[in-house]
Amino acid sequence: MVDIVVVGSLNMDLVVRVAKMPLSGETVVGSDLALVPGGKGANQAVAAAKQGLSVSMVGCVGNDPFGPRLIQGLKEAGVSTDYIRQVNHTSTGTALIFLEEGGDNRIVISPGANGQVSQADIDRTAGLIQTAKIALFQFEIPMSVIDYGLQMTHRFGVATLVNPAPYRPFPSEWLSKITYLVPNESEAWRITGIEVTDLSSAQKAAEKLLKDGASTVILTLGEMGALLATPGGVLHVPAPEVEVVDTTAAGDSFIGGLSAALVWGYPIEEAVRYAVCAGTLAVTKFGAQTSIPSLEETRRFYEAVNKKPPKIS
């Protein structure tokens, strides 16, 4: 048995800091290149593991030097890598990240082996998925594999958390198979056609997703925190003010914290509050997996923000 199964991507992030983003045709001088383990799937696996959960990662790496480094990083974070497959004659997924002063970033993904994740990989983990408390999916692997995975989790009655990032069109029928849909502002806009610019428009987008079949929508709003929408109502959870260093993996840290709180049995409202604390802490550090907060860090921050300790089972 396992708390969390993550079906998703593994990337090596190639990060360069710049004073400002280059314009079209412009060359700017950046910092030394930093190699940072990343990928939305791997980040979320690490984020959940750092909260003390048992986590298994399902995905693919290439047969280049990046693959073993990513797998070793996951192992060091406490993530089971038994279901990560090495693909020959294919590069490991790579993300080119330009980090601007102030923490904003621009990211270009080269999928590599992430594009080779298959239905057979899902079949190999069917027994594991069946016993999981939550299965996590993102959109950096083939959409057909996500569809297959959602069919399996729906058949087994396993809770699912889907982070539709980076956005790609998906069938509306998926909404009824997703327990927790967690888009950001841009993704919510692309899904619903409602541009999310403030809390009012965020609520409209979330309510449209509910109307279209979603059961629980948790819309991450960056420095504004998060918006929880269920058939029972809407709740805004503001983000604490902190000094922003790097926004990379903030959303992944949010999902790790959210997954942990749900596994612990938090009411959904408190789970979102805990997740906001985890996501906020991530922006205070540099890098993807290197910025993900630990259980102890998140507990202390949650207690400071909410004036009460979290009830950790």
Taking only Cα atoms into account, the Rg of the chain, rounded to an integer number of angstroms, comes to 18
Which residue has better confidence, 283 or 103?
283
Give residue 89's pLDDT.
Answer: 92
Q: Give the pairing of strands 34-38 and 93-100.
A: unpaired
DSSP state of 227: E
Residue 27 or 113, more confident: 113
Q: Which residues 6+ apart lie within 8 Å of 274 measured at CB?
A: 257, 258, 260, 261, 266, 298, 302, 310
Distance separating alpha carbons of residues 137 and 9, to the nearest angstrom: 9
Whether the link from the prior residue into 166 is cis, omega within 30° of 0, is yes
Report DSSP letters for 168-199, one per residue.
----GGGGGG-SEE--BHHHHHHHHS----SH
Nearest-10 Cα torsion for 302, 3, 255, 95:
130
Helix (H) or strand (E) segment spanning residue 136: strand 134-138
pLDDT tens digits for range 115-139: 999 999 999 999 999 999 999 999 9
Task: Work out the average pLDDT over 146-156.
Answer: 97
State mean pLDDT over 36-61.
Answer: 96
Of the pLDDT bands very low, low, confident and very high (cuts 50, 70, 90), residue 12 is: very high
Decide if 131 contacts 1 (C-beta within 8 A).
yes
Q: What is the pLDDT of residue 182?
A: 98
- Whether residue 312 is predicted with pLDDT greater than 60 in this model: the reply is no
Question: Please, what sign has the CA dihedral across residues 86, 121, 262, 197?
Answer: positive
Q: Residue 234 and residue 300: Cα distance in Å, rounded?
A: 27
Indicate the DSSP class of residue 215.
Answer: S
pLDDT at 294 over 60: yes
**Could you give the C-alpha distances from 198 to 216, 223, 225, 228, 254, in angstroms and in order?**
20, 11, 11, 14, 20
**Residues acting as catalytic residues:** 252
Which structure tokens are listed for 123? 């079949």
Where are the alpha helices (H) located in 66-220, listed in sequence order?
66-76, 119-124, 126-131, 143-156, 185-192, 199-211
Q: What is the DSSP string of 2-43?
A: -SEEEE---EEEEEEEESSPPPTT--------EEEEE-HHHH
What's the pLDDT tens digit per position in 226-267? 999 999 999 999 999 998 887 777 999 999 999 999 999 999
Residue 313 has pLDDT above 60, yes or no: no
- Give tens-digit pLDDT for 266-285: 999 999 999 999 999 999 88
> Is 311's pLDDT higher than 70?
no
Tell me what the pLDDT averaged over the chain comes to: 93
Domains for the chain: give ranges and CATH numbers: 4-19+33-306 (3.40.1190.20)
Predicted confidence (pLDDT) at residue 109 exceeds the cutoff of 90: no
Q: What is the pLDDT of residues 157-205, one digit of tens each?
A: 999 999 999 999 999 999 999 999 999 999 999 999 999 999 999 999 9
* Side-chain-facing half-sphere of 253: CA atoms under 13 Å: 29
pLDDT at 158: 98
* Closest among 291, 276, 289 to 245, alpha carbons compared: 291
